[in-house]
Copies of this chain bind each other. A is one copy, B any other.
Amino acid sequence: MNEYVIGIDIGGTFTKMGFVNRDGNCFAESVTPTDAYDNVEDYLANLVKELKKSEDQLEGSYKIVGIGIGAPNGNYHKGTIENATNLKWRGVINFTDMVKEHYNLPVKLTNDANAAALGEMVYGGAQGMKDFIMITLGTGLGSGIVVNGDLVYGHDGFAGELGHVNVVENGRKCGCGNLGCLETYVSAPGIKRTVFELLASDSKGSDLVNYSFDELDSEMIYNAAVKNDPVALKAFEVTGRILGRKLADSVAHTSPEAVFLLGGLSKSGDYIFKPTKKYMEESVMGTFKNKVKILPSQLTDKNAAVMGSSALIWKELDK
């Protein structure tokens, strides 16, 4: 009999789901809107309906052994989604309890970057690693820290929020309310903001002068870099520099074997990896020099968060 975990990745706009087996193969995948529902009850009713529909596609005899969920501001200890700025549902939502009203199964929840880290550990490039850090580069910067084979959740269940460590005193305004957070520099919107700063200083020879702030995105910056656009190249250098210097701090905390980069910006290859590595090595304490790999996630082309969410349950069952 096939065993599946339902993996659910709740994003601000869409929710992705799938039935993941122990080998990391994902069946009956589906996508449903997140932001179409003003209250979480309606959202969940639709989610369950969609899941039942997808379940009909599974072939042969099977058993569902649990549900793993990745969500913004997901709290592993409490199973709650708490004050997520990019979801419409305010306050503290007892999401796993709500799911359990529909499914009499183990339900585990964590934040999306933690789920990605778990996915990397169970199915991706971190297989066999005990200590590593996952950095997800998207609209924001998420992170999951693995120490001695386990995710670090911390006392309150929210550990691993490297997107919101300060990198520039009184720097750029962040969605979290603070100034100068890492993700205001290192993320898709972050590199765009850097491009606009660089253009303001010296726009000579750059094609990026032709785009409005709303038009420009990180893929266009990458394409410009490939054509040797000086501002685009500089923007990657600045971004990698800030990330690399900050990773040197993270290395001093948990001494990982590797740091994985996943998502949007990480697809820019050497443009982002080279300066990140260079400045990390430059800044890190001698003890750690030339020890820590910076690697692209091996889950890039798969659904990292759905797989990672399912791994929440598989890891639990293996205990």
Contact = CB atoms under 8 A, between A and B. Distances in A.
- What is the oligomeric copy number? 2
Contacts of A82: 287
A262 interface: no
For the complex of A and B, the 7 pairs showing the least CB-CB separation, nearest first, are A154-B255, A159-B255, A164-B285, A155-B257, A131-B155, A165-B249, A161-B252
Interface residues of A, number: 44
B283 A153 contact: no
Interface stretch (A17-25, A59-67, A142-150, A219-227): A142-150
A166 B283 contact: yes
18 contacts: A73-B287, A82-B287, A148-B150, A148-B153, A155-B257, A155-B291, A156-B287, A158-B287, A158-B288, A159-B252, A160-B254, A161-B255, A161-B287, A161-B288, A165-B249, A166-B245, A178-B283, A250-B253
A203 to B, nearest CB: 26
A249 B166 contact: yes
A165 B248 contact: yes
Contacts of A286: 176-178
A98 interface: no
Interface string A242-264: 00010011101111110000000
